[in-house]
Structure 1
């Protein structure tokens, strides 16, 4: 987590985002994929509305996380503790908590694990961001060190877990193809939104170039 945070900090300042803004993104937004996407969109000169919309779409996966963990995070906690818990929600903390709950069925213990894991990951991410941002300022041009490659590499790493099934990989490729084709034709930053729209259309339609429905592909 700290290493990916450091890569975000370095890429962010290299893209022209100030050091305070970079750190504020990690503290306030605290969403790796959305943060990388925001920085890329800012560097491309995208409109603020497009940046916000893209970030919201990327983070939409947290909605089912919240539904799954609602009972756990509400176990013996105040309203403010639930708000804090929502901010600490990540893929990793959610996975740890669900595994704990599945193994032992103790909601209070699962909630404690979520808070400990969430806080540790939050601190690691923000420490990494600060180190990467300061180091990025000192290193200068990220292309000279290969740091600019951290953006696509980090996004691939963050989303790799969702590509296990063949249909998932094909839907992802369909969205990427739409983004590549649309980028030179649309205003800056809108190609990303077009790619996200392509993901939604391909996913809902059970996109499969071999002609098999999504259910049949996933069953192989």
Structure 2
């Protein structure tokens, strides 16, 4: 008679359930974010772009804040150069996401190209929620692919509808670009320093808007953040200071910045 105990179930089923949950979350994020593409498509065509131009912009640029910045400057009568610079400044954050996600995601070939295209706020956030490489990859691809699909689908719906909207303000679409920027900014206002930079940038934009061509006030406001980033911060740890290595309580109280 065998006395061997039955084999205990391994951690695999739990890991698989977590991956399935992450993928379902990616789908829900894709639908919710994609619906916002209706505003972009409608604003794009109402600002003077045709349907194909709006869709190429959505498919190739594929970063909401940058897209709204582009059509906001163009629709306001600004130059293409000013629109492009505003878009690039807002898209720089995706490069930082890519650096953070690099150890967990492919770098070369078609998958590497797809990864570069799908590195956005949503895919980076869901990837960061994973605890293993498998979960990080599942979160990145689920959010990135579904947001791309639904964003472009609803952008097309909005672009087609925008051709029949004579006055975007009557539908509240003129406020969509500002709402997009606030949605990007609000979660990052977690410290007094961040709030101070945001207020200073807003004041610079308000002061320069009457005198500068459309698009340039955005660049002037962005310059405030660049200058602030170059200045030493009182919250950054000084070499040799901070909690000692063995002081676990001090490390916990310090927490992430």
Q: Which TM-score band (shorter chain)?
A: 0.7 to 0.9
1:215 alignment partner, SS class: coil
1:142 aligns with 2:177: no
What is the correspondence of 1:1-220 to structure 2 with a 5 Å cutoff?
A: 1-74=33-106, 78-100=108-130, 103=131, 105=132, 107-205=133-231, 214-215=234-235
Q: Please identify the structure whose Cα radius of gyration is greater.
A: 2
8 A Cα contact 1:167 1:214, kept in partner: no
Tell me how far 1:179 sits from its aligned partner: 1.2
* Structure 2 CA distance for aligned equivalents of residues 33 and 144 of structure 1: 22
Distance 1:214 1:154 in 2: 30
Q: Work out whether residues 86 and 215 of structure 2, in 8 Å CA contact, stay in contact via their aligned partners in 1.
A: no
Describe the SS at the equivalent of 1:139: coil
Q: Between 171-180 and 196-205, report the one with greater CA deviation.
A: 196-205
Q: 1:51: Cα distance to partner? A: 2.0
TM-score by length of 1: 0.85
Compute the displacement of 1:22 (Å): 0.9
Contact kept in structure 2, 1:171 and 1:203, CA below 8 Å:
no
* Change over 3 Å in CA distance of 1:51–1:97 after alignment to 2: same
Give unpaired runs (5+ residues) of structure 2: 1-32, 237-253
Q: Distance in 2 between matches of 1:48 and 1:166?
A: 35
Partner Cα distance (1:19, 1:184) in 2: 31
Gaps of 5+ in 1: 207-212
CA contact (8 A) 2:46 2:165 kept: no
Looking at secondary structure, tell me which structure has more helix per residue: 1
How many residues are aligned here?
207
CA distance in 2, matches of 1:50, 1:137: 25
RMSD: 2.2
Aligned counterparts of 2:163 and 2:103: Cα–Cα separation in 1: 44
The alpha-carbon deviation at position 194 of structure 1 amounts to: 0.8
Q: CA deviation at 1:157?
A: 1.3
Gap change, CA 1:50 and 1:204, over 3 Å in 2: same
- Cα distance in 2 for residues equivalent to 1:95 and 1:127: 22
* TM-score, structure 2 normalization: 0.74
1:20-52 Cα deviation digits (max 9, x unpaired)? 111111100001000000001111222222222
